[in-house]
Structure 1
Amino acid sequence: MTVVYTHLSTSVDGYVSGRGARAGRGLGDGFRIFDWLSDRSAPNRAVADYGGTRTGAVVSGRNTYEHADRWGGGSMQPDAPLFVVSRDPIPDAAPGQTIVTDGLESAIRQAIAVASESGKDVKLAAGATTTEALRLRLLDEIVISQVPVLLGGGIPFFRELPEAIELECTSVAANQGVTHLTYRVVK
């Protein structure tokens, strides 16, 4: 069964990017939260490699897409098709980047169809998109790579939810520069 999951790096105070995040400036002053990706230690490499091999499609919001400089015409995961949720068409999107203008449910449905063909999962690549997927009860798993830094501002991982959502911790992998936490969304 195809799992819809998210995996983002966060600061201890819950930010997925720092102040000043925007197109051309990426994550603003929050790049520190991705330092663990260059650490070749076994726990960090295993988490990064697993994310790369399990992802069959990526769903992103328009802001993340633009902040990431449209992933250079590709996708967050090199071999996984990208579905971008946008209110408006993006006529200059790269080939292989599917722009979805009829909502997140449609984007996730399309991504599941593609990912399930290869027996892989769907990754949500943005905090606002993740929050909306939680509201719609479309998210199955949350992976947080929490880095020991307080950014003090920026873009938070989660936005306000209409109610509490229960999670079950299924995995913890600690390393000096990061703690990887995996939660199943209780439905």
Structure 2
Amino acid sequence: MTLVYTHLSASVDGYVSGRGARAGLGLGNGFRIFDWLSDHSSANRAVKEYGGSRAAAVVAGRNTYEHADRWGGNSMDAGTRLFVVSRDPIPDAAEGQTIVTDGLESAVRQAREVAEAAGKDVKIAAGATATEAIRLGLLDEILISQVPVLLGGGHPFFRELPEAVELECTSVAVNQGVTHLTYRIVK
């Protein structure tokens, strides 16, 4: 069964990027939250390897796409198709980057078709896009790699929701410098 999930590293105070995030400086002063990716201990390596092979398609919003310098013409994760949700066309998008101008539901539907054909999942690549996916009932799972730092500002993982969302914790992997949490959204 193909799942739609999000996985981001976040500070304890809930930020997925620091202050000053913009094109060319995608995470602002928040690079510390990704230090665990270069740690090759077993828990971190397992999370990284699973994350790198799990998705066949990635859905990102236009802001994340631009802040990440359009992933250099590729996708966020190697070997995945990228679907970018944008109000406007992006005529100079790279080949293999699908620009979706008719909304997140359409982007997730297209990404799900790709993922189902490959027997894999769909990754939502940004907090604001993940929040909208929750609002629309499209998100199944949330993975947070929580790093013990307080960034004090930046872009939060989630935006305001119209009501509380119940979660079920399905796994916890603790390692020095990061705690990997997996939650299923209770629907």
What range describes the TM-score normalised by the shorter chain of this pair? over 0.9
Partner of 1:42: 42
| Distance in 2 (alpha carbons) for counterparts of 1:26 and 1:64 | 8
- Kindly provide the CA deviation profile for residues 18-41 of structure 1, in whole angstroms up to 9, marking residues without a partner as x: 000001111000000000000011
| Distance in 2 (alpha carbons) for counterparts of 1:135 and 1:26 | 25
Pairs within 5 Å for 1:91-110: 91-110=91-110
SS at structure 1 position matched to 2:76: coil
1:89 aligned partner, one-letter code: P
Pairs within 5 Å for 1:124-143: 124-143=124-143
Pairs within 5 Å for 1:106-117: 106-117=106-117
TM-score, normalized by length of structure 1? Answer: 0.99
| Distance in 1 (alpha carbons) for counterparts of 2:26 and 2:130 | 19
SS at structure 2 position matched to 1:173: strand
Pairs within 5 Å for 1:66-105: 66-105=66-105
Q: Structure 2, unaligned stretches of length 5 or more?
A: none
Partner of 2:174: 174
Identical residues among aligned pairs (%): 81
1:47 aligned partner, one-letter code: V
- Kindly provide the CA deviation profile for residues 99-137 of structure 1, in whole angstroms up to 9, marking residues without a partner as x: 000000000000000010010000000000000000001
* Counterpart check, 1:31 vs 2:8: no
Pairs within 5 Å for 1:47-66: 47-66=47-66
Computed over aligned residues only, the root mean square deviation of the Cα atoms, in angstroms, reads 0.4
* Counterpart check, 1:144 vs 2:144: yes
| Distance in 2 (alpha carbons) for counterparts of 1:55 and 1:176 | 26
